[in-house]
Structure 1
Amino acid sequence: MTTTETLQWTAVCAASDILPDTGVCALVEGMHVAIFRVGREQDFYAIDNVDPKAGASVLSRGLVGSIGERIVVASPLYKNHFDLRSGECLEAPEYSVRAHEVRVQDGRVLVALT
């Protein structure tokens, strides 16, 4: 198991660059990653940005919301919902994506691929 101390963190933008309840795409170690700022607490989440069903880098453009206790993004193409904590695709688990570590330090958003 990887600990947060041994992960390779990449600074992607200022936290204020991501508007509340939206996402942005960043290139982290050659991978497209969707980073979201969500909710009253303005928590940050990161998942793969490529919609596995469509093969397009679009998840950061999806609508953020919740289904029950799960915080999700709906793909703008096929409307599948992806859990922002785990990357699980609620409608079709075989289309799940990876979730990544994300934190804010000194006002900067940092992402580590997992």
Structure 2
Amino acid sequence: MSQSTNRRIDSLVNTEVWQSVCAQQDLVSNSGVVVWLDGAQVALFYLPGAEGRSLYAIDNHDPQSGANVIGRGLVGSIKGDLVVASPIYKQHFRLEDGSCLEYPQQRLRVWPVRLNGGVVEVGVA
């Protein structure tokens, strides 16, 4: 198991507070939907056919354009990393950690997220 996978699992295990944000039926396979969480827009990406994780939560705010559009981006894979392409300037953000492939100084916030009995929950603590 890689070090990044261990960190991801540790962050999921150590989350003390989970907040329900929507039902699993509200998700769109291989696409994004946006939810409101404690004053932030969070883009949820549901990738049911992906190896390992199938659900990701990442900031909806594109730092380059200043628009809240990440949830409308196209999901793909670059060099084995699952990414979302911003719909405006097309820069790619890794769903795993929010880092931008083209501009390393840009990073989106990510949240732990899980499905719990048909409910999508995002870790807030």
Q: TM-score, length-normalised on structure 1?
A: 0.90
Separation in structure 2 between the aligned mates of residue 113 and residue 51 of structure 1, nearest angstrom? 21
Give the residue type in structure 2 aligned to 1:69: G
Tell me the CA shift for residue 39 of structure 1: 4.5
Higher helix share: 2
TM-aligned CA deviation for residue 78 of structure 1: 0.7
Q: Structure 2: state its 5+ residue gaps.
A: 1-9
Q: Which residue of 2 aligns with 1:23?
A: 32
Is structure 2 residue 82 aligned with structure 1 residue 67? no
Per the TM alignment, residue 99 of structure 1 is displaced from its structure 2 partner at its CA by: 1.3
Cα deviation, 1:38-90, whole Å, max 9, x if unaligned, reads: 14147000111100111111100000111121000000011000000000000
CA distance in 2, matches of 1:39, 1:82: 19
The runs of at least 4 aligned residues of structure 1 exceeding 6 Å deviation read none
Q: Which is strand-richer, 1 or 2?
A: 1
Percent identical among aligned pairs is: 44
RMSD: 1.9
**Structure 1: unaligned runs, 5 residues or longer:** none
Q: Which residue of the partner structure matches residue 76 of structure 1?
A: 87
Q: How many angstroms does 1:7 deviate by? A: 3.3
What SS is found at the alignment partner of 2:43?
strand
Q: 1:2 and 1:39 mapped to 2: Cα distance?
A: 21
Instruction: Note the 1:48-63 alignment, pairs <5 A.
Output: 48-63=59-74
TM-score normalised to structure 2 length:
0.83
Deviation at 1:12, TM superposition (A): 1.1
Evaluate the alpha carbon distance shift between residue 54 and residue 7 of structure 1 in structure 2; reply closer, same or farther with a 3 A threshold: farther
1:90 maps to which residue? 101
Q: 1:105 to 1:39 in 2, by over 3 A?
A: closer
* Alpha-carbon separation, structure 1, partners of 2:12 and 2:32: 25
Which residue is equivalent to 1:8? 17
User: Which segment is superposed worse, 4-13 or 85-94?
Assistant: 4-13
TM-superposed CA distance for 1:27, in Å, is: 0.7
